[in-house]
Amino acid sequence: MKIILITGKRGAGKTEFAKMIAKNIPVYEMSEYVYREMKKANIDKFDAITVGQFAKDLRKKYGNDIVARLLWDDIKDKQIVVISGARSPEEVDFFRQRAKVIVIKIDAKPEIRYERIVQRNRHGDIRSYEQFLEKEKLDEQLGVDQIIEDIIIDNNHDIDLLKRKIDHLVDFII
């Protein structure tokens, strides 16, 4: 089994990257598994801060690889998958113990990421720069900055440049 594991901070372009790279490959969002656990706990407030705090508490209670473990049953029989949203080194380790994994970090400057978040206007996204900084802090506490990546994609430019980078990368890794 092969896993293309995408990491990076909020607004860096992980979801766009996953959509572009996964032409015929199943894509899994780790955050969906956090949302499922929130629904099981009867939490219906899905703003970025509440989700981040819940994810932190979930990992504290069940281990930093809990989201990877929750996702595993859905992917264990696949040949290749793309997983977006790894937040801790333990999640990466979990997958590396079970499959061939390439970790791709999507990186962008904080001010660019903040603008993207505001522009995309997803339900539950942050609405102020203060909330952005608070969410950054929660992600850092999960260990997102400690993940060791195999490839870093600079996404400080437009979507067309990202597409060209992805086309080159796909030819190389798949």
Residue 115: other Cβ atoms inside 10 A: 13
Q: What percent of the chain lies above the pLDDT cut of 90?
A: 68
Calculated CA dihedral for residues 88, 91, 96, 102, nearest 10 degrees: -60
Smallest Cα–Cα separation from 149: which of 91, 74, 78, 80?
A: 91
Q: How far is CA 157 from the centre of its chain?
A: 20
CB 70 within 8 A of CB 85: no
pLDDT tens-digit series, residues 72-87: 999 999 999 999 999 9
pLDDT tens-digit series, residues 127-146: 899 999 998 998 888 889 99
CA gap 86, 62 in Å, rounded = 16
Whole-number pLDDT of residue 174: 66
Where do the domains of the chain lie, and which CATH numbers do they carry? Answer: 2-161 (3.40.50.300)
Mean confidence (pLDDT) of the chain: 92
CA gap 41, 141 in Å, rounded = 22
Between CA 122 and CA 162, with CA 148 as vertex, the angle to 5 degrees is: 45
Judged against a pLDDT cut of 80, whether residue 149 lies above it is answered with yes
CB 6 within 8 A of CB 84: yes
CB 104 within 8 A of CB 48: no
Containing 168, the helix (H) or strand (E) segment is helix 159-173
